[in-house]
Structure 1
Amino acid sequence: MEKYYAVIDIGSNTMRLVVYSQVNTGRLHEVENVKAVARLRNYLDAKSNLTDEGIVQMLGVLDSFKEVLNIYSLEELACVATATIRQANNNTFIQKKVKQQIGWEMRILSEKEEAYYGYLSVVNSTSIEEGITVDIGGGSTEVTYFKDRVIQESHSFPFGALTLKQFFSDNKPETALGKLQTFLLEQFSILDWLKEREVPLIGIGGSARNMAQIDQSLKDYPLAGLHQYKMNDSDIAKILHYLSPLCEEELQKVDGLSTDRADTIVPAVAVFHALYQTTQADCFVLSRKGLRDGVFYEKSTQNLKDHLYPNVLQDSIRELIHEYSLDQTQIEFIQFLTKKLFNGLKERRLGSHTQRDWELLERACSVYNLGNYIDSESSAQHTFYLLANRTIDGLMHIDRLRLALIASFKSKNTFKQFVGPFEEWFLKEEKEKLSVLGALLKFSYCLDATKRQVVKDLDIEMNDRELTITLYCDKDFHPEQYQTNKQKKHLEKALHKDINLQFILG
């Protein structure tokens, strides 16, 4: 029986329902995501009360969310509200109306809590050790600074994508953008802990997602997925200069931009650009995980120090092993053999291998040939596509691609085929190294062709002409001997060495 959890996020611009299922590893997977553009910010009156019309709008959306949830047997539900409800003078009355008509307890997050949940979602879904997070809502902007994955500072600015639209109401686009940028730089400069950090700037929320989608569209980006997508200062500046002269009708047609964000995307991108400049960030990273995820990360990590998963990437690999029914015993055995081979080649200076290369290869041992789960005949193709195009928490996109190229290795030709669309991503030397690592991994799996863990140890000797690998076995080794001799040519080509295999029983 799957366990389901739901969170309702009542924002200033949008309201969203997300349903998660919990898998065996304890991590949460999104199974339902429903969005409604309520623009509650527009219903705050002169006295900062949410009008009756706004309350009716909000309750109507919540009622529709409740209908969706009727098909799930929920373990837990959280209903949280952010800036607009927080700033509404009649928010206590609003909470009572939600309880009376919907039956839910609505929790109004403080500025500090809103910032904290954004931070918590980032450190539990990426491997970034130090960074600055930014989450632009409709009525507020939250920023945090974390180091060694622990939050150090947080702040909530009283402006968001909807409120910043005012800069464009009475001015020409160029004038408005200049005034907005000056305002933002002044605002960000009041926090000394933001200045010149030179760490990743991590964007959270719908505006950040839309900016990343536009960037991918402009670049004809060849990989799927947004989480952990990387941009730089010039990418953001290019998008800002591309979008700012466009009228709303033209913005509606921009690839990657949601129609409901067409009127707020320019102020949002201006925030990212100004913050990038203030922090002197070394890159911009998009996090698809945000406040809603943070709410449940807090609950699912309540027994862990600082509410942090110890190793995000390790958990992600474990999920893949479970999802594709991979054999953990075989994986550990292959890691043992591969490390012996890797170290042996490194000692004999066959390739300029590093500790980072081993970490990548060890990871690939866990997911080698997982495409066999779909179809054994085209396993390499499925392995490459699945690993290259699915989100793996803890891996940036280029690292995901490296993993896919090694774990899908079948031959030099298929490697060239897979790496073809990404030629400009790698130097020639790195492509050669990835090919060697892939061939080495394929060779290791041949040594366990029958999954009986026949080979218990190995030695490597080398002369000018060939590499001799002696394999010590405790069972009949003939199936492994046949398969390895058949496939060793791939490693020979990669190493530019003949390989002589000697199997010894006893």
Structure 2
Amino acid sequence: MSDTTPQVPNVPETGVADLGLFGKPLFQDPGARALRRVGVVDVGSNSVRMVVFDGAARSPAYFYNEKIMCALGAGMADTGHLSPEGRVRALSAMRRFSKLAEGMGLTELTAVATAAVRDATDGRAFCEEVRAQTGIKIWVIDGEEEARLSAQGVLLGWPGAYGLVCDIGGSSLEMAEISGGRVGKRVTSNLGPLKLRDIKGGAKAREAHIKEVMTGLADKMGSQRDRLFLVGGSWRAIARIDMIRRNYPLHVLHEYRMTRKSVRDTIDFIRASDMEALRVEAGVSSARASLVPYACEVLARLVKTFSPKDIAISSYGIREGMLYEQMPQRLRDRDPLIEACRFAEDKDARSPGFGRMLYNFILPLYKSAPAPRKRLIKAACLLHDVSWRAHPDYRAEVCFDNATRANLGGLKHSERIFMGLALMNRYSNKRENVRFADLFAMVDDQTRIEAEILGKAMRFGAMLWMDKVAELGELRWYPKKKELHLRLSPEMMPLFGEVAEQRFSSLAASLEAQAVVTTTKR
């Protein structure tokens, strides 16, 4: 099983309905488009957040995303009640979210509450007050259901993923096992930073408590030495600081990777740093930063206890899991990257559908390429024309930015760079770009060369643009003889003008091959 690449069905590579490598685009199906705009609210122990998803149903864009740090769970260890100040702020947030949803035309918001509301003696009264003032019904879920939804959020971005999902909130920590695209064992605990902060006895008492609880969690979950997926704002704050410590150039949290050693080093770095200065540099809120030291204590014990092979940050969690819950299985099984790229092409390209033709045209160059690489090539072809509105002088840079920083699931950071380089070369033959030099260094020389070849292949193929049902011609690649053949029909020959010829020659040169052009008979 691939470590991040979604498993896709074995289907033909051609077909009249874009059966392609990954099947017909489901976002065009009425059942899928019913999911195009979905509003969810997560009433957590530390924050209350509304997210409205929009876009391709399998890989949605964030149409709206707002978070209010309410700290509903602050002080509950002593009082048993929701924080009075937090309750006022949360009610205000829910009133605002209700109005926003009304203005967006959403028929309803799906709202869930987690540890603080389910544990507080006044949690039910709070939910009733919210419903009376806004009409929004809050579903209070237990810890295992919270773990399941968080794990489903991970599966939204990593279909077919396997490993241990660990979601840290303000008042609790949940774990869920995922394997083969399914959620397995689930557990919940009280290892949230807000609750740890209230433990009497200082650091030693917290350490003993964390160790005892984590040992119990490990007994229930068993050996979990695959990938550890970290979900939650406190983990993301630590990952941002890890990026600072490493001087990591691509500030995209989703799919960011850490090792056990880097976790230890970053925790030491945090403890030795001026937290306020570090908070500002990392762009972390004061409320979140105040919880980071407690989250570090939990993460250190978590990594020591489970010894994962590697660690991945997931920006997808319970809110994305709520969206995943509404998807039919046939939609869940789709590749989020390909579906998102198809949606982008359908929305923004000058000739939607041409990306499939372009992919089939250049595919002879990649007959022996592994499936994960063909997947990236398909995605690049779908995106090759979505940035055409950008100013010509900056179009190549816009393409690179779009591929490397856009909200795309199912992409390693190195794969983002490969696609970015390919799309940059789609619009420019220049490899030099000082602005992105630090990002180019994230992949090796061979990958950069392969991206340049792909970019030039797309750049040439786009010159043969006709109606999307027409044939582009035929490429044949003979790597042993180092010959690149282009066969064109008499009807297509007028398109092979001076610029097209130059681009074909440039593609052949990048392959260190001889360019051969022939005309087919009528």
TM-score, length basis structure 1 = 0.85
Q: Is 1:83 aligned to 2:99, yes or no?
A: no
Cα separation, 1, equivalents of 2:88 and 2:480: 82
Cα separation, 2, equivalents of 1:255 and 1:33: 20
Aligned with 1:495 (options 503, 507, 511)? 511
Matches within 5 A, 1:333-372: 333-343=357-367, 353-372=369-388
Q: Is 1:191 aligned to 2:220, yes or no?
A: yes
Matches within 5 A, 1:418-457: 420-448=437-465, 453-457=470-474
Aligned-pair distance for 1:318?
Answer: 1.5
Q: Is the 8 A contact 1:448 1:480 kept in 2?
A: no
Q: Is 1:211 aligned to 2:222, yes or no?
A: no
Aligned-pair distance for 1:141?
Answer: 0.4
Cα separation, 1, equivalents of 2:43 and 2:395: 44
- Stretch moving more, 137-146 or 76-85: 76-85
- The residue that corresponds to 1:325 in the other structure is 349
Cα separation, 1, equivalents of 2:433 and 2:418: 14
- The residue that corresponds to 1:161 in the other structure is 193
Task: Please tell me the residue identity of whatever aligns with 2:329.
Answer: L
Q: Which has the higher Rg, Structure 1 or Structure 2?
A: 1
Q: Is the 8 A contact 1:450 1:480 kept in 2?
A: no
- Stretch moving more, 355-364 or 141-150: 355-364
Cα separation, 1, equivalents of 2:471 and 2:301: 60
Aligned with 1:400 (options 416, 425, 438)? 416
Aligned-pair distance for 1:176?
Answer: 6.8
Q: Is the 8 A contact 1:402 1:434 kept in 2?
A: yes
Cα separation, 1, equivalents of 2:440 and 2:274: 37
Gaps of 5+ in 1: 347-352
Aligned residue pair count: 488
Larger relative contact order, structure 1 or 2 (CA cutoff 8 Å, min sep 6): 2
Cα separation, 2, equivalents of 1:236 and 1:463: 47
| Counterpart secondary structure, 1:371 | coil
Over the aligned positions, Cα root-mean-square deviation in angstroms equals 3.2
| Counterpart secondary structure, 2:353 | helix
CA displacement, residues 444-488 of structure 1 (integer Å, 9 cap, x when unaligned): 333447878454445556886x62514041514122254432112
- Stretch moving more, 152-161 or 45-54: 45-54
Aligned-pair distance for 1:119?
Answer: 0.9
CA displacement, residues 273-312 of structure 1 (integer Å, 9 cap, x when unaligned): 332333322222222222122223212x0x326x824222
Aligned with 2:143 (options 63, 86, 111)? 111
Q: Is 1:304 aligned to 2:329, yes or no?
A: yes
Cα separation, 2, equivalents of 1:249 and 1:279: 31
Distance 1:360 1:130, change over 3 A: same
Aligned with 1:277 (options 304, 317, 320)? 304
Distance 1:482 1:25, change over 3 A: farther
| Counterpart secondary structure, 1:244 | helix
Aligned-pair distance for 1:11?
Answer: 1.2
CA displacement, residues 137-181 of structure 1 (integer Å, 9 cap, x when unaligned): 1111011111011011111112211112246x644x6x5785466
- The residue that corresponds to 1:479 in the other structure is 495
Cα separation, 2, equivalents of 1:377 and 1:451: 27
Aligned-pair distance for 1:423?
Answer: 4.7
- Stretch moving more, 494-503 or 87-96: 87-96
- The residue that corresponds to 2:319 in the other structure is 292
Cα separation, 2, equivalents of 1:449 and 1:420: 36
Task: Please tell me the residue identity of whatever aligns with 1:323.
Answer: K
- The residue that corresponds to 1:349 in the other structure is none
| Counterpart secondary structure, 1:492 | helix
Q: Is the 8 A contact 2:159 2:332 kept in 1?
A: no
- The residue that corresponds to 1:126 in the other structure is 158
TM-score, length basis structure 2 = 0.83
Cα separation, 2, equivalents of 1:45 and 1:476: 75
CA displacement, residues 292-345 of structure 1 (integer Å, 9 cap, x when unaligned): 22223212x0x326x8242222212222213322534322222221113433xx
- The residue that corresponds to 1:383 in the other structure is 399
Q: Is the 8 A contact 2:37 2:55 kept in 1?
A: no
